Amino acid sequence: MAAPRWSASGPWIRGNGQGFGSLFTLVSKPFCSAAAASTGINAQRLAERLRAQKREQDTKKEPVSTNAVQRRVQEIVRFTRQLQRVHPNVLAKALTRGILHQDKNLVVINKPYGLPVHGGPGVQLCITDVLPILAKMLHGHKAEPLHLCHRLDKETTGVMVLAWDKDMAHQVQELFRTRQVVKKYWAITVRVPMPSAGVVDIPIVEKEAQGQQQHHKMTLSPSYRMDDGKMVKVRRSRNAQVAVTQYQVLSSTLSSALLELQPITGIKHQLRVHLSFGLDCPILGDHKYSDWNRLAPQKLSVGTLKKLGLEQSKARYIPLHLHARQLILPALGSGKEELNLVCKLPRFFVHSLHRLHLEMPNQDQNENNEAKCLGAQ
């Protein structure tokens, strides 16, 4: 494409060049002034538009529900979104307020709901991002970053162990790998497992689920199946991993239960898979494993929805009720006593217990009293 040309009459081109200079002077000054004015106007308009959009967003905020449970659901949704938007320093400061234990070897934190441990697609902020900041807040600006000793799922709350140096982190990781750490989780389930206590010993494998949305899930890979009323041995998948979970019902109603879970192995999503596909009692708020073929909000009975004060359309906001309640670590380093780490339940978990009429063991009566106070609000 030909370059644009200036079109000017002869007098501006003839002579010693002063005519062209005069043209440039005459034309450029008004042009620059107009451009500057236009830029200022555009910037002003843009600023006004952004302020208007902000005001519109503020006015369009979700109305606050008069129902206490729905208000709590709204709080959880907002909190989860905010976790991905806060500055790492703010998150680190919040984690320091939830420290369960600290010594020369370890720092044990209370992991909040909705916060991933590691980064990944779509993850803007995770625990590993704030470990250097957290270390400096606790030990000064020259402190080395803390190290992860194990992991918890994004939706799981509770006890999480960090180490001050790599050697100690490897030592704790080895304790987890060799199953020397006692891990106890609490979960609220939809329906009640039968029998009320037992062991689920079924291998787990990852498979692609066929449906409207193709996705991968962990699922059971049993060694036997029923065929015309007969028990038939199944050829084991090469990718299947041994998975063993001990469980006990702490409290139950006709439609829900509070369980204590002790995973003997540490397979990905083991507790969720064993409860949902092994015992037919999915965890409340488990929207991934409540149905094998679909990725959809958990379907709850009318009775459960009524107790929670929710409609089915709002069920997708129910958080996963799985809490890393307790870890018991063997003596570390020069220590002579085991380390017993207990983390109190998150507020939404306690509130759900109260709404579902589930009772906690006697030693946790203080939290149960807190639930009653919340329910009265």
Query: Would you please indicate which residues are annotated as catalytic (active-site) residues?
Result: 153
| Peptide bond just before 319 cis, omega within 30 deg | no
Cα dihedral: 171, 162, 350, 300 (round 10): -80
Nearest to 287 by CA among 262, 254, 247, 321: 321
First to last CA, the chain: 73
Nearest to 112 by CA among 131, 99, 129: 99
Task: Give residue 90's identity as a one-letter amino acid code.
Answer: V
Separation between Cα atoms, residue 370 and residue 258, nearest integer Å: 17
**Cβ neighbour number for residue 136 with a 10 Å cutoff:** 17
DSSP state letter for 283: B
In degrees and rounded to multiples of 5, residue 204 shows phi and psi of -125, 140
Separation between Cα atoms, residue 295 and residue 211, nearest integer Å: 9
